[in-house]
A and B are shown apart, each in its own frame.
Chain A
């Protein structure tokens, strides 16, 4: 069941050449866009809606529904942005697609552009992605040379240009409105919503932003039909998803799984289990922003939107980080707190100050100078951050903070200077349980 089906087949079948247009077309590439050009834009949107495809960038929003929010026949131009900023710790699946199958991303963008009547689209790469960018640029050049981009693509009357844009080091540029600000040549500080990008986005025009993997899935759906796609996965989590796996496991890397795959089976069979001599401490299944799962929570968990939510975590970006029992949860939280404190854009006080405070408090605990009161303080700060800011970066700090303390209280207590009343700590955690994701 873990065999690659939709997203990775081409790249794995033809290593070293799959990024070329010829190789892509040899396996049916650019058939879907031709088909899309023969459909009405409403019909394309409807097909993607029906497939059940949800955004793979983190939030899991239904893709067809997002496209349908674009006002029809608006005066101002419509823009499409492909989000290739991939900066969520633990995530490296978009990189794989851009390096091995850039034409699939490009074709997905073309189809989305036709569906929302867009004539100028952007692919925004994180600034560090020099190699994926080189592969992408070569792909774009090939497409222009063939007349697949530019005036009247594929002989239709749809003009379409693509601009390759790249950032310069800022996690927050991956947040959709941060990305818009960044593309306008400013600091990547997220905007208040509403207005949503579909109404007022890039250059104050209606804009769709989709993740690279989301867009790379679209050609398959349009070519084979929504029903074929919906046969994969579960009732609510359709299709397949890429998981980028890291940590002390035998076979790290990018894997394509049908939604609903069993988590422990994935770890044991596909990833080859833990390295010799290392036990499983926990798994962060969806990128550093989502709550960690203990081995108990991992057992029987299903890798899909509902399955992970039921365990109190999320699919997120699919950054599957395995943690061995040789490290302390305090180390893990400190590492992540440093990340979020560094990456907060600084607009909202709870996030700007809160991330820094949490980092300092965890550091204090790691140095053996922390107390029970400091642990309670971390929980209180998390409560003041989650859901109270312009974007979700503050939640992305609060979730790991609460989850690590809740699930590994002994690790924290072991390092505190004074005694820690574990019952009192559990009660403090209980008061903040509402912050964590839960089954809906």
Chain B
């Protein structure tokens, strides 16, 4: 196992973070964030390194890494697309957004494209319910999404390089929702016929 290493500037950042807290282990989450930003993901070697810095076991670090959903235990795509699937977003068409990404990239939620460009994930409410549907792409929110906006966005992302500190959200105009009623494959209409259809299968 090659020992884990971070650039000197990141190590200095880690030490500054630890110094902020009355107890070393309290710096766990921010330190793991620094590691993930620098290394792209959190490897077992990185967990050992963090444990040594924080004065706790690698097992304690691993328990934390596996508990919190934003930490990646394996490499992910350059662009991590995390689409909210929770109620307000589902009510406003999150399913159509996720389906468009699946079709365009040929991957299912949880998977990464073969070229390592994109990872798709379904995530829970991101506190943007009034501008639903929405997703987080790396650190940035994109709100009021539509399948068409996904098309344009994927093209734009594919040719560009992630900037780790680019966080200002992109809030599109609320789309024309005249067709709202027809937006949903899962509707009361389906509810009424769904039982019989499933029976027939």
Which residues from chain A sit less than 8 Å from chain B, CB to CB?
77, 86-92, 94-95, 120, 126-131, 133-134, 163, 165-171, 182-188, 203, 244-248, 252-254, 275-278, 284, 288, 319, 321, 323-328, 330-332, 335-336, 338-339, 342-343, 345, 366-369, 411, 414-417
Given known A-B contacts A92-B128, A244-B130, A248-B180, A326 and B67 have beta carbons under 8 A apart = no
- Greatest chain A CB density within 10 A among B136, B184, B191, B194 is at B191
Chain A residue with minimal CB distance to B65? A168
A-B contacts counted at CB < 8 A amount to: 203
From B28-36, B99-107, B147-155, give the one contacting chain A.
B28-36
Which B residues from 103 to 156 make CB contacts under 8 A with A?
123-132, 136, 139-141
A284 to B91 alpha-carbon distance, docked (Å): 13
Task: Let me know if B187 and A328 touch, CB within 8 A.
Answer: yes
Cβ contacts under 8 Å, A325 to chain B: 188
B194 CB contacts on chain A under 8 angstroms:
366-368, 415
Report if B22 contacts A (CB, 8 A): yes
The answer for the CA separation of A349 and B101 in the assembled complex, in Å, is 36
- The answer for the CA separation of A245 and B67 in the assembled complex, in Å, is 30
B139 touches A130 (CB 8 A): yes
Q: Does B178 contact A (CB under 8 A)?
A: yes
Partner of A254, one of B69, B126, B130, B167: B130
Task: Give min CB distance, B98 to chain A, whole Å.
Answer: 13
- Is A163 within 8 A of B67, CB to CB? no
Task: Determine which of A95, A183, A188 lies in contact with B26 in the assembled complex, contact meaning CB atoms within 8 Å.
Answer: A183
Cβ contacts under 8 Å, A126 to chain B: 127
Using an 8 Å CB-CB cutoff, how does the interface string of B141-180 with A read, 1 for contact, 0 for none? 1000000000000000000000000011100001001101
Bound together, the chains give a CA A335 to CA B140 distance in angstroms of 24
Query: In the bound complex, how far is the Cα of B26 from the Cα of A183, in angstroms?
Result: 6
Which chain A positions have C-beta within 8 A of B32?
168
Asked if residues A185 and B181 are in contact (CB atoms below 8 Å), the reply is no
A185 and B169 form a contact (CB under 8 A): no
- Is B6 interfacial (CB-CB < 8 Å)? no
Q: Complex: how many Å from CA A296 to CA B22?
A: 53
User: Are A416 and B195 neighbours in the complex by a CB distance under 8 Å?
Assistant: yes
A-B residue pairs in contact (CB < 8 Å), sample of 30:
A88-B125, A89-B129, A90-B88, A91-B125, A92-B130, A127-B29, A167-B29, A167-B68, A169-B71, A185-B25, A185-B54, A187-B63, A187-B67, A203-B26, A246-B88, A247-B92, A248-B92, A254-B130, A275-B180, A321-B91, A325-B188, A326-B188, A327-B188, A331-B186, A331-B191, A332-B87, A336-B87, A339-B87, A368-B196, A415-B191
Whether a CB of chain A sits under 8 angstroms from the CB of B43 is no
Distance (whole angstroms) from the CB of A121 to the closest CB of chain B: 12
CA distance A227 to B38 in the complex (A): 52
Smallest CB separation, A337 vs chain B (Å): 11
CA distance A366 to B21 in the complex (A): 49
Closest to B169 in A: A131
Return B34 CB to nearest CB of chain A, in Å: 12
**Does B199 lie within 8 Å of A163, measured CB to CB?**
no
B195 and A91 form a contact (CB under 8 A):
no
Instruction: Contact check, A203 vs B29: say whether CB atoms are below 8 A apart.
Output: no
Q: Which residues of B contact A86 (CB under 8 A)?
A: 127
Partner of A171, one of B26, B85, B124: B124
**How far is the CB of B132 from the nearest CB of chain A, in Å?**
6
Check if A89 sits within 8 Å of B125, measured CB to CB: yes
Contact of A166 with B191 at beta-carbon distance under 8 Å, contacts A253-B130, A339-B125 already known: no
Contact A90:B33 (CB < 8 A) given known A120-B22, A188-B67, A331-B186: no
Contact: A184 with B23, CB < 8 Å?
yes
- Chain A CB within 10 Å — which of B178, B194, B196 has the most? B194
Give which listed residue, B64, B92, B123, B191, contacts A328 with CB less than 8 A. B191
Q: Does B8 contact A (CB under 8 A)?
A: no
For A250, the closest partner residue in chain B by CB is B177
Known A-B contacts A248-B180, A339-B124; the reply to A185 vs B191 at CB < 8 A is: no
Known interface pairs A89-B129, A248-B177, A277-B180; A166-B88 also in contact (CB < 8 Å): no
Q: Are B167 and A131 in contact (CB under 8 A)?
A: yes
B198 in contact (CB, < 8 A): yes
| Given A167-B68, A246-B132, A326-B187 contact (CB < 8 Å) | yes
Determine the distance from Cα of A352 to Cα of B22 in the docked complex, in whole angstroms: 33
- Whether A90 touches B129, Cβ cut-off 8 Å, given contacts A182-B29, A184-B23, A203-B22, is yes
Inter-subunit contact B86/A89 (CB<8 Å): yes
* Closest beta carbon of chain A to B55's beta carbon, Å: 10
Which residues of A are found within 8 Å of B186, using beta-carbon distances?
Answer: 327-328, 331
Taking the complex as formed, is B74 at the interface, i.e. its CB lies under 8 A from any CB of chain A? no
